[in-house]
Amino acid sequence: MLFLYSMSTPQTISRIDSQVNEMLKKNSLSVTGSRKKILQLFLEQTGALAHGDIEKRAGEKFDRVTVYRTLQTFVDKGIIHTIPTADNSIRYALCKDQCSEGHHHDHHIHFVCTNCSNTYCLDDVVTPEIKLPKGYSAKHVEVVVEGICKKCKGPVP
């Protein structure tokens, strides 16, 4: 008989930890060290993460290749999505609503701060309708706004 009680003690197993387990199981992924660690990073983070960030913060424990493969798995499963940026470095962010496998539907825009170089998903800002010339048909619209973010703007009056 185990002390199941103690296992769920707030200080022992964090809320995030169990959330991570749930998310992985929901996507029928086995719960492994790297997946937990990397998913944790995304949950603890407001903005998006570049591969470099992830490698720096999780890579000391895990192989470069493992990080690549884990990210790819998450993208395939619709847990995270990629954000194209002007400087050509892929960034990843959690999908707010679970995207279906292999098909992401991110209708929100992305914001890159030129000061702190953080990337944010502005989930409340939907991509605008674009009127295209005759003959062109749109499947997907990607909007990336560069500017100064809330935090860097300075004290709000």
* Binding residues vs DNA (CB under 7 A): 29-35, 51-52, 61-66, 68-70, 72-73, 88-90
Q: Which is nearer to DNA, 8 or 88 (CB)?
A: 88
Contact flag: residue 86 with its own copies (CB under 8 A):
yes
Among DNA, its own copies, none, residue 132 binds (CB under 5-8 Å by kind):
its own copies
Q: How big is the site for its own copies, counted in residues (CB under 8 A)?
A: 37
Residues 99/106, Cβ–Cβ less than 8 Å: yes
Torsion angles phi and psi, residue 140, rounded to 5: -155, 135
Pick the binder of its own copies from 21, 73, 85, 118 (CB under 8 A).
85
Q: Which of the 8 DSSP states describes residue 46?
A: S
Within residues 24-83, the interface with its own copies by CB under 8 A covers 82
Q: Does 15 bind its own copies (CB under 8 A)?
A: no
Residue 31 CA to residue 49 CA, distance in Å, equals: 21
Considering the complex, state which of residue 29 and residue 125 has its C-beta at the smaller distance from DNA.
29
Enumerate residues 6+ apart whose C-beta is below 8 A from 30: 24
Site string for its own copies, 88-127 (x = CB under 8 A): xxx------------------x-x--x-------x-xx--
Distance CA 63, CA 47 (A): 24
DSSP letter at 156?
A: -
Contact between 149 and its own copies by CB under 8 A: the answer reads yes
The Cα 74–Cα 107 span in angstroms is 19
